[in-house]
Structure 1
Amino acid sequence: MKGRLTSAADDYADILEHRQEQIKAEEAKLRGLQANVEKLELDIGRAEEEIRQLKEANGQQAVKLDEAAQMLHDKENLEEAVRRQHDLIEKQTEELRNIKKQLEERDGQLDRANTSIEELSLKSAGATDLRILFDEPWLVQVSYARLKGDIPMDREWGAVAALGMGKHLVLYGGMSKVPGAASDSVGREVAVLTIDSGVWERPSGARTAASCASHSAVVVGRTKLLVFGGQRGDGAAAGAAADVAVLNADTMKWMSPQIKGTERPLPRSGHASCCIRERVFVFGGATADGVLLNDVWVWDQDSSQWAHVSTFGTVPSPRTGAAATCTDDGRRLYVFGGSDGGRCLNDVHYLDLEKLTWSPVAVHMGTPPEPREGASAHVTSKYLLISGGCNTMGRCLGDTRALDLYSPRWECLDEGAWANSLMWLKPHGAYTAFFGNRQFTLKPSMHEKLWELQVLEWSLPEDIERLRANRRKDSGFSEKLELSDDAVCGVSSLELSWRPPTKNADRIERYKLMIATGTGVVKDVYQGRESRFRVTGLKSATEYILCVKALYDDGSFLWSESKAYRTLA
């Protein structure tokens, strides 16, 4: 019994031990489950956090989707606005094109109007005046024209001449202010101005192979321009020349005569020349080494020969830039001014071409021209005309002076309205040409173009008298306007009347009374329809010269003869 109890106790003990082991295993299992639960709880927490974050992200994405939807809607609206704006821009562009076209048309109209205004201004600036020069009446007319066509560039030390009986101006050579190719182009080109139409042409076929400046150019016959000497080429290759070239103005082709004989003048530039019956006289100038000359050479166009002229008398000093001209009868050659290398001159010499003797012209009356070089000279009747040039300081002059070769005495024919202009930058002689009783002067503009022409025309006292005589030929009517001889002379006044012409007196619009002193100062004292006037404010015991002008309704006019009256002492 005890043994069974012991065995049963052992069995219970084993069972209890087994149960305890099971309990321990269950506890271990429970602890594992608890650990798993804790892990799951952590995973659930993380999952919940991720879910929360996903919800937040989903919320943000929803907001972004809403914004994207709004942006898409805005984009559609913007595209529609862009389409409307594009249509509006196209419409405005078309309107702008039309406006631009209208503006271009108006600019063209404005340019044409400005051109017309300039032309009218130039024409209105012209004047016709009766001037008392050398105690005689001169009729002086000044007119201006704006030039068109292929206008040449401004230049210095070129040469211009009047061809075709004064119908054309031919300009050749010179140096431009712009260095390089522009200067070379100017020195090689020929420009032709038709005076009546005011149109420039630059024929390409007349361009020369080398540029030329400080040369001389004179008219031989009616249609040929003879060019001698000058500086040929540009830069280091430039040098004084002694060749002769002839431009035929009809064909615009150059010819180089085959020079005969052995005599040749030295190469030179800055010389003076003039033509007398197919013979071209050359005076002075400077060699390539700068040596000044005062020799005289003559070129015979018919025989193509040079001949040195041995002269006597008071030979002008060596010089460059002098002006030369000759009388119509070919008996005298006149030389004016120039530069002796240190200063400009204003002396006058003439060469008797029959005796080959030089003589100075001693002038003691009148105001002589300012010393100058680069001037132009011309002889008309008994008067020597000098125009332009530049003085020792390089200031350019625009006046025209007349010298009575019989008195001799200087008078001013034209003060030169352009002399003080900023546009007047070059020696005046490079732009002036004479023909008969007309002087042509080219004016450069601020754009370096020779765009304006002044024509100075004068009628000498004998021409005026001839015109009056022709007008008096009409029989039956008097076309003579006369100042009366019975003037009332006071100490400081003159009261005078005039007799109107019997022909076309009803067409006279007004009279113009002019008075001049012995010094040549002329001024208007009366304009009106009355034929009597009292001039006051005069000096006592002084002689005054008066003349009256009748102006007709068609723009024509009639001058009276000038008469002298003297105020009382």
Structure 2
Amino acid sequence: MSGGSMFVQQFSVLVRAINQHRPPLADNAQLLTVGRQLCPSTRWSHTMCLSDPDTAVLIGGEAADQNYCKDSLWKLELDSDFWFPMNSSSSGPVPLCARGHTATYDPDSKSVFVYGGLREGQRYSELYILNTVTWKWKLVTAKGNVPTLAYHSAVFYKKELFVFGGVQPGHSSGDKSCSNALYIFNPEFELWYQPIVEGDRPLPRFGHSATLLSQRLIIFGGRKTATYLNDLHILDLGFMEYAAVKCGNMPPLPRGFHAAVPVSDNRILVSGGCSAIGALQDVHVFSTDTNMWSSVASPVLCSKPRAGHSMISLGCSVQRDTEKREQGENVRCTLLVFGGSDCSGTFYNDTVKCTVEVPGVK
């Protein structure tokens, strides 16, 4: 038996839960071309983040038959929409092929922090740091209470990496397979630690989203063993206190493996995801001012069901209408979406750049 098979068997119950909506076998090439241009192969459960205002990086992912994507590292020039492989332009201990990891950009150090995930034959507690100035990788020998997680969430706040939830290895079944713990990594001391957090702690989960709005972390959805969730919690990072949010209207369908981005200081946008009825093709916005959800019409984002995709914001602008002040300020956001799956056998490698109009809150 291979090392990768033994690794997966350690948490076979949880993997079966994840695989309930995993797409079956589909045709997939290692490198695909659009016209003359190379582009990443089809995938989901990858990550994508900005490495500077003009460049995005794509890392890892999974394709047909639960295979890791061999073409795992790419750059995208945002102005030209040109993809090119990173392997030839970077040096150091490059992360192995992975899925269910996180890639988080720290603008202060100009570095991308790649943590956790499922890596064939490897533990998934590793933390890699990509210096986007030198394009050199570093594998961190971390100290402290080092977590081992996949399908978690991660954000940077005040020069530290905050990691919440995810899958834990080594548990046979049940709720213990998922985590609701909060871990913090301090890059200066290369140290992991767990802070004291008060309040109404969210249920254990994986495949959720955690979106940073100022000093508030908005945790939405995910999956708890076989159950999809649509609850919402806010973690105040100043007071380190959770609050369960009672929404003022009907929330979106329970889901996991969706994508979420901030669209203003008080609103997040959620796209797609897996649900009990399959992949979703909807867009919703949550306002922390009103605790209300609203649906958003986006012909591009709603054109097909999509889960396990990546979505990043390329910038938002306020649209003021002096004749409609009572309707609040509309926000126009440019979003970049890559890949994902319809949970029915089709994987994507399309790069979608679109503008979404988010109506103002009355």
Q: Same fold (TM over 0.5)?
A: yes
Q: Which residue of 2 aligns with 1:389?
A: 273
CA distance in 2, matches of 1:444, 1:288: 25
Q: TM-score, normalised by structure 1?
A: 0.48
Q: Which residue of 2 aligns with 1:332?
A: 216
From the CA coordinates, give the structure whose radius of gyration is larger: 1
Post-superposition offset of 1:460: 7.2
Post-superposition offset of 1:383: 1.1
Residues 1:148 and 1:413: Cα distance change in structure 2 (over 3 Å): farther
CA distance in 2, matches of 1:452, 1:436: 17
The residue type equivalent to 2:70 in the other structure is: S
2:151 is the alignment partner of 1:270: yes
CA contact (8 A) 1:338 1:345 kept: yes
CA contact (8 A) 2:222 2:230 kept: yes
CA contact (8 A) 1:232 1:241 kept: yes
2:117 is the alignment partner of 1:221: no
2:192 is the alignment partner of 1:312: no
Alignment of 1:124-523 (within 5 A): 149-165=37-53, 167-177=54-64, 183-186=68-71, 189-205=72-88, 206=90, 208=94, 210-221=96-107, 223-233=110-120, 237=121, 240-260=123-143, 262-265=144-147, 267-289=148-170, 291-328=177-214, 331-365=215-249, 367-379=250-262, 380-393=264-277, 395-415=278-298, 417=300, 419=302, 421=304, 424=305, 427-428=307-308, 430-437=309-316, 438-443=334-339, 450-458=349-357
CA distance in 1, matches of 2:151, 2:55: 24
Residues 1:175 and 1:370: Cα distance change in structure 2 (over 3 Å): same
How far does the alpha carbon of each residue in 1:33-67 deviate from its partner, in whole angstroms, 9 at most, with x for none? Answer: xxxxxxxxxxxxxxxxxxxxxxxxxxxxxxxxxxx
Q: Which residue of 2 aligns with 1:52?
A: none
CA distance in 2, matches of 1:356, 1:201: 41
CA contact (8 A) 2:131 2:137 kept: yes
Post-superposition offset of 1:414: 3.5
Residues 1:355 and 1:448: Cα distance change in structure 2 (over 3 Å): closer
CA contact (8 A) 1:148 1:198 kept: no
CA contact (8 A) 2:44 2:339 kept: no
Greater share of helix residues, 1 or 2?
Answer: 1
The residue type equivalent to 1:185 in the other structure is: K
CA distance in 2, matches of 1:418, 1:443: 12
CA contact (8 A) 1:440 1:456 kept: no
Can you give the 5+ residue segments of structure 1 that lack an aligned partner in the other structure? 1-145, 463-517, 519-569
CA distance in 2, matches of 1:280, 1:289: 24
Higher relative contact order (CA 8 A, sep 6+): 2
CA distance in 1, matches of 2:159, 2:48: 19
Q: How many pairs does the alignment contain?
A: 299
CA distance in 2, matches of 1:148, 1:399: 33
CA distance in 2, matches of 1:401, 1:434: 15
CA distance in 2, matches of 1:198, 1:412: 29
Residues 1:447 and 1:285: Cα distance change in structure 2 (over 3 Å): closer
Residues 1:327 and 1:259: Cα distance change in structure 2 (over 3 Å): same
How far does the alpha carbon of each residue in 1:287-312 deviate from its partner, in whole angstroms, 9 at most, with x for none? Answer: 12351110001112233211102212
Residues 1:244 and 1:414: Cα distance change in structure 2 (over 3 Å): farther
CA distance in 2, matches of 1:276, 1:347: 23
Detail structure 1 runs of 4+ shifted over 3 Å in the superposition. 205-209, 414-421, 443-449, 457-462
Post-superposition offset of 1:441: 1.1
CA distance in 1, matches of 2:359, 2:111: 29
Tell me the secondary structure at the aligned position of residue 174 of structure 1: coil
How far does the alpha carbon of each residue in 1:199-228 deviate from its partner, in whole angstroms, 9 at most, with x for none? Answer: 111122349363211111111117421111
Greater share of strand residues, 1 or 2?
Answer: 2
CA contact (8 A) 1:396 1:419 kept: no
Residues 1:353 and 1:447: Cα distance change in structure 2 (over 3 Å): closer
How far does the alpha carbon of each residue in 1:331-381 deviate from its partner, in whole angstroms, 9 at most, with x for none? Answer: 21110000011211111101112222110111122x422211112223322
How far does the alpha carbon of each residue in 1:151-202 deviate from its partner, in whole angstroms, 9 at most, with x for none? Answer: 000112111112312x22211001111566xx3514xx21111111011111
Can you give the 5+ residue segments of structure 2 that lack an aligned partner in the other structure? 1-33, 172-176, 317-333
- How high is the sequence identity, in percent, across the aligned residues? 22
The residue type equivalent to 1:220 in the other structure is: D
Residues 1:309 and 1:415: Cα distance change in structure 2 (over 3 Å): same
Q: TM-score, normalised by structure 2?
A: 0.74
CA contact (8 A) 1:312 1:357 kept: yes
CA distance in 1, matches of 2:37, 2:135: 18
Post-superposition offset of 1:263: 2.3
CA distance in 2, matches of 1:268, 1:158: 15
Tell me the secondary structure at the aligned position of residue 150 of structure 1: strand
How far does the alpha carbon of each residue in 1:62-81 deviate from its partner, in whole angstroms, 9 at most, with x for none? Answer: xxxxxxxxxxxxxxxxxxxx
Post-superposition offset of 1:323: 0.2
CA contact (8 A) 1:402 1:410 kept: yes
Post-superposition offset of 1:400: 2.3
The residue type equivalent to 1:251 in the other structure is: T
How far does the alpha carbon of each residue in 1:216-253 deviate from its partner, in whole angstroms, 9 at most, with x for none? Answer: 111111742111111011xxx3x551111012233332
RMSD value, Cα: 2.8
